[in-house]
Structure 1
Amino acid sequence: MSVRATARITAALDGRGVTSLPVLAGDGPLALRRTRTTGSGARVTVVGAMSAPLGGDRLTIVTRVGEGARLTVDSAAATVALPGEGREPATYDTELSVGERAELRWLPEQLVSAHGSVLHMTTRVRLAPTARLVLREEQILGRHAETTGTLVSRLTVHRAGRPLIDQQLAYGPGAPGGWDGAAVLGGHRAVGQLLFVEPTFDEKCPEARLLGDTAVLTPLAGPAVLVTALAAEARRLRGVLDEALNELLDAPAG
């Protein structure tokens, strides 16, 4: 039997200048926990309460970060997409909204596409002009010694009502030909990206450059950069993205 579940997070600044969580509502396999952090921001960890997503499941996380609030969302473990009893694909939708002078760091663990699974992931983000965003996505194509399932992932970000990025990636059976060839994955099975939106980049944005042999930093048409990386396995992928994020966070303001 398929599962339909929607989890909701709302972060807001209280009268003391501290981020509170007036809405923290898990649902089905999406359990939410407020976890310890430093400073005036808040942190929420998504804890998988059951195996999901399976074929036919419909999962959604809706997150709102109000004006001036600071929120980090991570997860307790990797998410594993598994085949279900039916033929329907699973869907996992993420809807994020970040207000004026607010900051969201969306840093889940990896998504593992198990053999035989079919998952469609959609992430939609709406940013105010002065909002800041760090968004990391990591996909592991197949568990150890198995081929990947089918994974279709779309990321759409609007800033100040205008499109900042809109891209779709597809891997596995049924994906357009060449996805596993030398021009795309080149034998790698860990793929990830890091989107960094920083309003001060309006003045000076980092220049495009290679980050090692299989990663690249690309400035976008807006105050943002996208880091795209490949690796042989999850640990190496995380290392590349973490190093890039640390460099971006340490970069002088424009």
Structure 2
Amino acid sequence: MGGVHATARIGARGDGRGGTSLPVLESDGPLALRRTRGAASEARVMLVGAMSGPLGGDRFAVEADVGGGARLRVGSAAATIALPGQTKEGARYEVRLTVADRGELHWLPEPLISAKGSDLSVVTRVDLDAGARLVLREEQVLGRMREEPGRLGSRLVVRIAGRVVLDQELTCGPGAPGGWDGPAVLAGHRAVGQLLLARPEFAERPMEPRIFAEHACVMPLAGPAALVTAVAPDGLRLRRVLDEALAEWDIR
């Protein structure tokens, strides 16, 4: 099997003084992790791509484990661009997130761009304890400027207290099931994104389902969580919609 195989790991723990330590910060190959200046109680980590990719045949994974009393914010330095490789084999990118009771994770990477000729499968698995808090943003842009997209498959699985509250999958681009670009799915838009919010208080006061913007909606999940889903003509307008959602709920 060709391609680069790499797994980066982050472990965040409460330091007993109201702050957050990072006992685990392991970069691997093209996945470089850098700690940046954070708030008094929050640790911040930036994911920096040390090379192009993922390319065909690559297998990338990023893991984050947040313990009780810890607060972690993870971003990325630039957009991730899926590119065709020298082999016809597809690439795979896995994200595995775990948050314990009283832990909080903000997972806010830059967009994933599916370039022409690429073939990438992205799987994000989230495991939360009942008292965990999470803000997760996913943004996917189909093709660069005036470029047809590659094939992009994405799956998001979320468990809270061992119970699945969300398991959804979308495949776009060449070879995807028919209708992905039709009125029932993307309706000709080239950017799709979602914002997942998990908070213990949603168990008693769930968010109401509603239309949030012209092409965005808010849906409560079967657990203390809610999902904002949006489509837009481009990545810039998609980000504006998701930022508006965060601002409305005063989540920073």
What is the TM-score when the length of structure 2 is the normalising length?
0.97
How far, CA to CA, are the matches of 1:203 and 1:196 in structure 2?
Answer: 15
Q: 1:140-161, CA deviations, whole angstroms, 9 ceiling, x for partnerless residues? A: 0000111110000000011101
After the TM superposition, list the runs of 4 or more consecutive aligned residues in structure 1 that deviate by more than 2 angstroms: none
Q: Which residue of 2 aligns with 1:124?
A: 125
- How far does residue 227 in structure 1 lie from its aligned partner after superposition? 0.3
- For residues 177 and 39 of structure 1, the distance between their equivalents in structure 2, rounded to whole angstroms, comes to 50
The Cα of 1:245 is off from its aligned counterpart by 1.5
Q: 2:228 matched to 1:227?
A: yes
C-alpha offsets along residues 59-111 of structure 1, whole Å, 9 cap, x if unaligned?
00111001110000000000000000101100000111001110000000000
TM-score, with normalisation over the residues of structure 1?
Answer: 0.96
Q: Which residue of structure 1 aligns with residue 41 of structure 2?
A: 40
Question: Where do 1:147-158 residues align within 5 Å?
Answer: 147-158=148-159
Match of 2:216 in 1: 215
Amino acid at match of 2:212: L
Alignment of 1:25-174 (within 5 A): 25-174=26-175
1:147-194 CA distances to partner (integer Å, 9 max, x unpaired)? 110000000011101111011111011111000112211111010000
Taking only the aligned residue pairs, the percentage that are identical comes to 62
Asked if residue 11 in structure 1 is aligned to residue 12 in structure 2, the reply is yes
Letter in 1 for 2:143: G
Counterpart of 1:205 in structure 2 is 206
Q: CA deviation at 1:15?
A: 2.7
What are structure 2's unaligned runs of at least 5 residues?
none
Describe the superposition over 1:186-208 as per-residue Cα deviations: whole angstroms up to 9, x where unpaired. 11101000000011011111211
Q: Distance in 2 between matches of 1:226 and 1:249?
A: 16
Where 1:237 maps in the other structure, the secondary structure is helix
Provide the residue aligned with 2:23 in structure 1: 22
Helix, strand or coil at the partner of 1:34: strand
* Paired residue secondary structure (1:242): helix
Give the Cα separation in 2 of the matches to 1:184 and 1:139.
14
Residue 212 of structure 1 and its aligned partner are, at CA, apart by: 1.8
Distance in 2, Cα, partners of 1:20 & 1:38: 12
Q: Could you tell me how far 1:37 is from its partner in structure 2?
A: 1.8
CA RMSD for the aligned pairs? 0.9
Q: Which amino acid aligns with 2:203?
A: D
How far the C-alpha of 1:249 sits from its partner, in A, is 3.4
Q: Distance in 2 between matches of 1:84 and 1:207?
A: 44
* 1-structure distance, mates of 2:68, 2:200: 15
Q: Which amino acid aligns with 1:147?
A: E
Q: Secondary structure at the match of 1:100?
A: coil
Instruction: Report the count of equivalent residues.
Output: 250
